[in-house]
Amino acid sequence: MYFPYFVAYMVAGFVLSLLVFFWALNNGQFRDQQRARYLPLDGKTRSTPVKLTGLKRVETWVLFLLAGCGLLATAVAITLTLITTL
């Protein structure tokens, strides 16, 4: 009886995961993997923090919004499951 909620929840999670994955591909998050493996061993620290541009701030807020939507969807799925089983 409550399976459509879980199916919708899984489909929404899969679609959001694909959106974030393609966003990362377009923004170059997976470039230069050979150099990235040695960055933790470098030992250098940044002297100044990186300043976010307007577009990066929007991307940050959108990612927080997506995470919040995921948490909300989880709460709704759990609540509907509990309501339908009682």
37 vs 75, residue with greater confidence: 75
- What are the tens digits of pLDDT across the range 20-69? 899 888 888 878 777 777 777 777 766 676 676 777 788 888 889 988 98
Q: What is the pTM of this model?
A: 0.48
E strands in the chain: none
Q: Are 74 and 6 in contact (CB under 8 A)?
A: no
Six token digits for residue 69: 């939507």
Six token digits for residue 59: 């991307």
18 band by pLDDT with thresholds 50, 70 and 90: very high
